[in-house]
Amino acid sequence: MDYVIRGVRAGEWEPAREIRLAALRDPVAPIAFLETYERAVARPDEFWQQRTADAVEGRLSRQFIAEAPDGSWVGTVSVLVERPADEPGFGEAASCDQTHLVGVFVRPGHRGRGVLDALVREAVDWSWDLSGAPVERVRLYVHETNARAAAAYRRIGFVPTGRSVRLEGDPGALELEFEMRR
């Protein structure tokens, strides 16, 4: 694989914004992301600058990207740190020290080349290496109709927990929780 998997660096808010907007234009975006393209594109530059700065700091979150040989960003994943004392984010409140993978995206022309696996592996490794109380599990959610994503995560080693969350904007739809334990 000729891709470099690395953390987002300080000042890279513009490519971070661009790949997020590309993800939100993907045909599966309505079932893969909780944000719309219209909402994201309207956000001011300061939002993207702060979001990237927070992801670089790596205390509460970290963003990883897959960089092609030409320097273009072809994939991304963000990791949210969730501790039992924290306010609940998405889904159930953390009952153990854990991380949560969100914003997973690989550009269509680069799918099936190991990019997803490498991004997720980097995110999981980062999770296991966090300072403080050891992370016991890494979780993520998959829309119940996104069979392709569910199969990919199973292949990587995630298993369904049996827990699910109803979507705010579509109460008839479920997000299914998957996890990887240490």
CA distance 129 to 69: 27
Please state, in angstroms and as integers, the Cα–Cα distance from residue 162 to each residue in 59, 69, 96, 142, 174, following that order: 29, 40, 17, 12, 12
- The pLDDT tens digits for 17-74 are 999 999 999 998 888 888 999 999 999 999 999 999 999 988 889 999 999 999 999 9
- The pLDDT tens digits for 54-65 are 999 888 899 999
